[in-house]
Amino acid sequence: MEEQKRLEEARLAEEAALALAEKEKAKSRAALEHAEAAQRIAELEAQKRINAEMKALKEAEEKTRMLSSLSQPDCRYRKYTIEEIEVATEYFAQSRKIGEGGYGPVYKCYLDHTPVAVKVLRPDATHGRSQFQQEVCACPEYGCLVYEYMSNGSLEDCLVQRGKTPPLSWQHRFRVAAEIGTGLLFLHQTKPEPLVHRDLKPANILLDRNYVSKISDVGLARLVPPSVADNVTQYRMTSTAGTFCYIDPEYQQTDSNGKPPMGLTHHVERAIERGAFREMLDPSVPDWPLEEALEFAKLALKCSELRRKDRPDLGKVVLPFLNKLREQAEESLYNSAQSCTPLSPCHSQVSMSKDDMSYPPSTQSSIGG
């Protein structure tokens, strides 16, 4: 019995020792895992710091490059010699002249087998030379800017039907609005600092042969500091720039001569309140989708609010709505094209153009900016 008791005690002692060893081993494993986890966290934090430093350095370099490009005369753009410009314009022949802009005459010609508009800077318009830092394609030694030739002129000319241009359909109007919004959002999201156009208006929206829009006259564009909050407008003013009725109401009122443009927005608001919004629609377009046009007008009124914080966000509110309108417009154009037959041709503004190389007479003034 004594022997059996000693054996049992020895067995229990062995089991206790094994349990203790297992417990210590588990503690050791836990401590090791904790140390490894702490090391991984430390490595991740170190990597985050490195990434943040690299990002800050990259943004600083980008900002330096951008500011340098805006201040230095040798910007990256396509350059033409004065001889190339003279030959293309037949030595600035009067027959090649298509308009007169704010800084000088505009000529139509061909460069690199491409129709272009050449804006010539007058010698007395020296203040306009800074625009060369913000434009593309130039003959810098003689002050010439070369633009893509937009055969359907400006949005303004199409809307008021200058030069007997055909009415711009609601489908094209919706699509152009979405394209403009997309272009603006791109400018506003430019890194490291966003850009504001400062003179966006129908005369500065040009249309190509397929009525695809492009924003022009970026010479007034200004960098906006990234520190400015979304609901705050910061001013770094020298003098008010832009076309009065189209610039930001808050922006224009910082100048002593600023007055809020009460015309069109006032009439649209009153028409909506009276239930007479249809009267505000362009009568040259017979098939307006009234509900969508009304919602579009209401959104436009919100965008014209005096204070920035009262206006809808371009990327989150305005552009998604405009893209829905664009989808509806493109679907309508597609359905119209599908309904055409050889015996009943469609006269679509997208596909029909008798002379893609000619501006309507009245679009000449809009090219020169």
Read off φ and ψ for residue 268, nearest 5 degrees: -65, -45
Read off φ and ψ for residue 341, nearest 5 degrees: -130, 165
DSSP 368: -
In DSSP terms, which residues pair with 106 in a beta bridge?
Answer: 99, 119
Q: How far is CA 46 from CA 33, 42, 49, 71, in A?
A: 20, 6, 5, 37
Q: How far is CA 87 from CA 25, 64, 82, 90, in A?
A: 90, 38, 9, 5
Write out the catalytic residue numbers: 199
Q: 253 near 260, Cβ under 8 Å? A: yes
CA–CA gap between residue 308 and residue 247 (Å, rounded): 12
Both tokens of 217, joined, read 């006259």
Query: Sign of the C-alpha dihedral, residues 260, 299, 213, 342?
Result: negative
